[in-house]
Structure 1
Amino acid sequence: MAETSEKERRILVAVDEGEESMYALSWCVNNLVFENSKDTLILLYVKPPRAVYSAFDGTSYLFSSDITATMDKYSQQVAESVLEKAKRLCNNIQNVETKIGNGDARDVICEMVQKLNADILVMGSHGYGPIKRAFLGSVSNHCAQNVKCPVLIVKKPKDA
């Protein structure tokens, strides 16, 4: 009689400062990841690209190294704070990893899904309407169209 072994799942959860991503993570912890399982929960925070400012005449402005260092330090502190908050929601999960990416969230999430061999991607939905989504784009929609694993988009109920 062959012994059955439970397959480890690599579950990537994209988190940010918003309530929607924390709700999606909480939902994932309560409904998708099981205690004492071999599942690995990977929390991914993507730092946005550094802003480049330009004048109306097309001149670009560069910040001094002191200012860019301060901006980078703040960005890192935000990332660490979000990941710490996310890890607190995962206190019953044995295998939790954290990752920080840099760049456009759509591209970084898709790249990390492939690089980390994720079995499923979990994301929150901001619930943008069609007009806002047309201007801002939908990170979850982009990822759902471009990753090669199942994508679970968790929408926060209005009353939650």
Structure 2
Amino acid sequence: MTDDVTAAPRIVVGVDGSDPSKAALWWAVREAGLIGGVVEAVAVWEYPTAWYGWTPPQAEVFDYEKNARRTLVESIDRAIGPDRPVEIHTRVVQGHPAAVLLDAARGARLLVVGNRGHGGFAQALLGSVGQHCAQHASCPVVIVRGPGEASND
């Protein structure tokens, strides 16, 4: 048997600390438990850019990677709690969120994202990252609404 046959199904979930991403994380962990899978929780960070692609000058140096890692750990703790029903692997990656998630999802059983994150417009039904992932992923994509978001049915 090859490793692909014996490996547990992998579910990739994007986590940015927003309520919808925590709901997506909870959903991914629950689904992994049902199928005997593992969760790969991915946090993505980028340097902020100002006009013309320049990073704004800052009085202090801010560690974006460390902040993303802290947000990821806190999100897991808040969404799942201390008792992990499945194996959760964490990754913190620099890059554009949609591109990083699509790359991470190669070979995965599912990609799970919240319907919108911290960026963009708060009133949007679907964020640009979720929309891009749904259109371009090499695996099925599940988009999870955050808590308290009413449907428009």
TM-score normalised per structure 2 = 0.73
Task: Report the CA distance between 1:47 and its aligned residue.
Answer: 0.4
> Which SS does the other structure have where 1:33 is aligned?
helix
Equivalent residue, structure 1, for 2:124? 129
Q: Which runs of 5+ in 2 are unaligned?
A: 117-121
Distance, in Å, in 2 between the alignment partners of 1:21 and 1:155 is 8
Task: Report the CA distance between 1:29 and its aligned residue.
Answer: 2.5
Q: Structure 1 residues 138 and 128, CA, compared in 2 at 3 Å: closer, same or farther?
A: farther
Distance, in Å, in 2 between the alignment partners of 1:59 and 1:10 is 36
TM-score normalised per structure 1 = 0.70
Is this contact kept in 2: 1:13–1:44, CA < 8 A?
yes
Q: Is residue 2:49 matched to residue 1:52?
A: yes
Distance, in Å, in 2 between the alignment partners of 1:141 and 1:51 is 22
When the two structures are aligned, how many residues end up with a matched partner?
Answer: 138
Identity %: 25
Equivalent residue, structure 2, for 1:110? 102
User: Which runs of 4 or more aligned residues in structure 1 lie more than 3 Å from their structure 2 counterparts after TM superposition?
Assistant: 58-64, 127-130
Task: Report the CA distance between 1:104 and its aligned residue.
Answer: 1.3
Q: Structure 1 residues 96 and 61, CA, compared in 2 at 3 Å: closer, same or farther?
A: closer
Is this contact kept in 2: 1:38–1:95, CA < 8 A?
no
Equivalent residue, structure 2, for 1:156? 146
The structure with the largest alpha-carbon Rg is 1
Distance, in Å, in 2 between the alignment partners of 1:153 and 1:12 is 12
> Which SS does the other structure have where 2:8 is aligned?
coil
5 Å-filtered alignment, 1:50-129, equals 50-54=47-51, 63=57, 67=60, 70-71=61-62, 73=63, 75-88=64-77, 89=80, 91-114=83-106, 117-126=107-116, 128-129=123-124
Q: Structure 1 residues 60 and 95, CA, compared in 2 at 3 Å: closer, same or farther?
A: closer
Task: Report the CA distance between 1:138 and its aligned residue.
Answer: 1.4
Deviations 1:48-96 (A, max 9, x none): 2x13334xxx7957748x85xx22x2x1232122221233216333421
Task: Report the CA distance between 1:101 and its aligned residue.
Answer: 1.3
The answer to which structure has the higher strand fraction is 1
Superposition CA RMSD, Å: 3.1
Is this contact kept in 2: 1:12–1:113, CA < 8 A?
yes
Q: Structure 1 residues 61 and 144, CA, compared in 2 at 3 Å: closer, same or farther?
A: closer
Equivalent residue, structure 2, for 1:33? 32
Is this contact kept in 2: 1:6–1:38, CA < 8 A?
no
Task: Report the CA distance between 1:119 and its aligned residue.
Answer: 1.2
Matched to 1:18, the amino acid is S
